[in-house]
Every structure is written in structure tokens, then in C-alpha cells.
Amino acid sequence: DAKTTQPPSMDCAEGRAANLPCNHSTISGNEYVYWYRQIHSQGPQYIIHGLKNNETNEMASLIITEDRKSSTLILPHATLRDTAVYYCIVMGTGTASKLTFGTGTRLQVTL
């Protein structure tokens, strides 16, 4: 599975959009981009995933570049409860595929 690169930390004002970038330049054609987050020491929580097209759900939007080498997770109206570590993970479709967590981006939402 491809590796990902994320900034170690970001700040965002409450009510503003939080845009979290991720580079995955070695991604292959059948690999999905996943985003999870971990609030304090709770279990990781699934946010969204995509293959090629942009995706949106009730939590966030995922924008994947046309060459698929990078993506951005967008939290449209960040709240204090969105303060967490956000993990971008690339995962293939083979039977040996697994979620491999890197160090993620620590998002701090402030008043």
C-alpha cells in the first residue's frame, strides 16, 4: 500500500472550513484514499473514502486531484469537537491490504 505525507499540525478557527492536505504520490490505480480521525485516545473513527471522484457525506468532503497524487479533506464548518488527529490512509484491494496509520495531522480548532 502507498505511503502518505501529511503536515504534523494545523489550526482552524471555529466555524471556518478546515482543509487538511495529504500527499500520496505513489498511489496505484486500485488504491483507495481513506480518512479517519482519532479524538483524544478514543478509537479511530471513519470519515470518508474515495477512489477517483470527489466524495461528500454528512461529515466531510474529499477532493482527490485528477492525477490522484494528493487529496484534501474538507470539514466545512469546523467545531471544537473536530479537534483530533486526522489520518490519511491509502489502501488497496488485495487480501493483504490493511489500514496502516501514519502520524497524521493534529487539527486544533480554536474559538
Partner 1 sequence: EAQVTQNPRYLITVTGKKLTVTCSQNMNHEYMSWYRQDPGLGLRQIYYSMNVEVTDKGDVPEGYKVSRKEKRNFPLILESPSPNQTSLYFCASSKAPRGGTEAFFGQGTRLTVV
Cα–Cα distance for residue pair 60/78, rounded to 1 Å: 10
Least Å distance between CB 17 and partner 1? 24
Which of 30, 42, 27, 29 shows the shortest CA–CA distance to 89? 27
Nearer to partner 1, 17 or 51 (CB): 51
Rule CB under 8 A: choose which of 5, 46, 65, 77 binds partner 1.
Answer: 46
Rule CB under 8 A: choose which of 23, 49, 63, 106 binds partner 1.
Answer: 49
Nearer to partner 1, 14 or 59 (CB): 59
DSSP conformation class of 82:
G
